[in-house]
Structure formats: structure tokens, C-alpha cells
Amino acid sequence: MFPWAKFRRRKAAVKLHTLLNLHGNIPTLVIITSGKVHDVNILDELPIETGAFYIMDRGYLDFTRLHRIHGNSAFFVTRTKNNSRFHRRYSHPVKKSIGIRFDQTVIPKGFYSNRGYPDTLRRIGYTDPTTGKKLVFLTNNFSEPALTIALLYKSRWQVELFFKWIKQHLRIKAFYGTSENAVKTQVWIAISVYVLVAIIRKQLRLQISLYTILQILSISLFENMPILQAFAQHQQQIEDPQSQKQLYLQGFLTGQ
């Protein structure tokens, strides 16, 4: 039914590659491709912002592409793969009581890995206090505490919540058309709705969930009333939006 969405012989797929701004969980970059496009290739199209943190899972572990982020004076936090090998140069003191197992300065081991990333990296071992799972992180940031790096990676879960929210509440599981234009149009409409709801929630400083906001708007969309009145019964204290300055959304970035 979707011959343009190349993936497998009898299965089509579309990938939604998203760069999410954690200050408000606003998607700042969305690239829609067929399922055959590997995630790591999207790093070639990623605009690098100086000083930003790019948090990504280990599917994006490519030393040449990570070095591009490093060369643009930005930072990355990712997980290592099971077959990743490194030469250890230094071991730094750690507090094992907070879950940090080790904090090392390393260089990639192997000809192609070392050629792709000729500079030093920071390798951090961490034990999740909730699940007991042992994780190993890789970053080019040497100034932040090891625990901060681990907590930064934990915030990557917001990307998963973003996709979960879209799938559950914007009815994107079924498509109204099978052409490439029809599918992409429906996906962009869903993303636009999410962004508008997220902006409303942040600018009005609402304490209710995005789903609740979406439900309130859906039943009062054609009613002639101030937007704050629609949320009055769900929000006890909302400041007058006319007195608020326009918020500027910026901060840590995460890629998925």
C-alpha cells in the first residue's frame, strides 16, 4: 500500500527523526524518511549550535559524525555499544555512593574509530539507582560532573514521551491516504498540533497536561471566549498573558 516507503520486501515504514528542545519539549527539527534510512545518517543534516548538548542513544554512535559536533564547539552525550573498545589514558576519582562507577579519559581503539575521532573522549560508568542497570556513557564534555552527564542522558526519555504522546492522542496510527504526500501531510499536521499545544502550555504557564489541554481545545474550539477562560476550571492560578513577555525557547537539544 505504501510502495514509496522502502523498508523490507513485504513491509513499508516511515521514520520520523526529531530534534527536541528540552526547554518546553518543542521539536526544533523534524526529518521524515523511509524506513531504510539509518538513524546515524541524520547527523549529517543536523545544524550544530555552539554550546548546545546533543543527547542521543547509541544508534547514533559514529565517531566521524560525533567529531563534527565536537569540531563545532558543541557537546554530545551518548551510550557506548557493547563492542566499543577504548584505550584508557586517565582514571578520575569518583563517588560510588551516588552511582558513578568510573570516570575515564579515553581514545577510541581501532584504526577507523581513531581516525574518525582523533581527540580524547570521556567515558563514564553509572549504575541506575532505580533499576540497578549499569550504563556506560560517552561524551566530549570534561567540565560537568559525571552525575550531571548521567542525568542529561536520562532526559533523553522526553523524546520517547514525545512519540508516545503523538501516537496515542493525535490518531496517527491510521493514515487517510497512501501516497507520500498524504502521509507526510498527516504527520506534519500532528506535529503542528503538538507544537501549538506545547507553546500554549508553556506561555500560559499551565500546570495541566498536554492531553488535557488538547481535550479542552477540541470541545471549545468554536466558542467565542478568551483562551484562559477555557482553562479556568482546570487551572486555579494563571497570570494574565498580556503581562507576560514573549518567552524565548532555547536550551539543551536532544536527537532521536
| Number of compact structural domains in the chain | 1
| pLDDT at position 170 | 65
| pLDDT at position 50 | 93
Q: What is the rounded radius of gyration, in angstroms, for the C-alpha atoms of the chain?
A: 21
Residue 199 included in any domain: no
* CA-closest candidate to residue 238, choices 198, 204, 209: 204
Please identify which residue in the block is written with the cell numbers 556513557.
137
| pLDDT at position 235 | 54
Pairing verdict, β 86-92 and 75-79: unpaired
| pLDDT at position 202 | 83
Residue 2 included in any domain: no
Find the domain containing 82 and state its range: 57-155
Are 95 and 172 contacting, i.e. CB atoms less than 8 angstroms apart? no
Residue 241 included in any domain: no
From first to last of the 256 residues of the chain, give the pLDDT tens digit. Answer: 888 888 988 888 888 888 988 877 788 888 989 999 988 999 999 889 999 999 999 889 999 999 999 999 999 999 998 888 999 999 999 988 899 999 999 999 988 999 999 999 999 999 988 888 999 999 999 999 999 999 999 888 888 888 887 777 666 667 888 899 998 898 888 888 888 888 888 888 888 878 788 888 888 778 787 777 777 766 543 444 443 333 333 333 444 3
Please identify which residue in the block is written with the cell numbers 477540541.
218
Residue 170 included in any domain: no
Residue 33 included in any domain: no
Residue 87 included in any domain: yes
Q: State the DSSP string of the chain.
A: --TTS-SBTTB--EEEEEEEETTTTEEEEEEEEETTS-GGGGGGGPPPPTT-EEE--GGG--HHHHHHHHHTT-EEEEEPPTT--EEEEEEE---GGGTEEEEEEEEE-SHHHHHH--S-EEEEEEE-TTT--EEEEEES--SS-HHHHHHHHHTTHHHHHHHHHHHHHS--SS-S--SHHHHHHHHHHHHHHHHHHHHHHHHTT--S-HHHHHHHHHHHTTS-S-HHHHTTTT-S----GGGSPPP-----EEE-
151: its cell numbers: 542525568
Residue 171 included in any domain: no
Residue 192 included in any domain: no
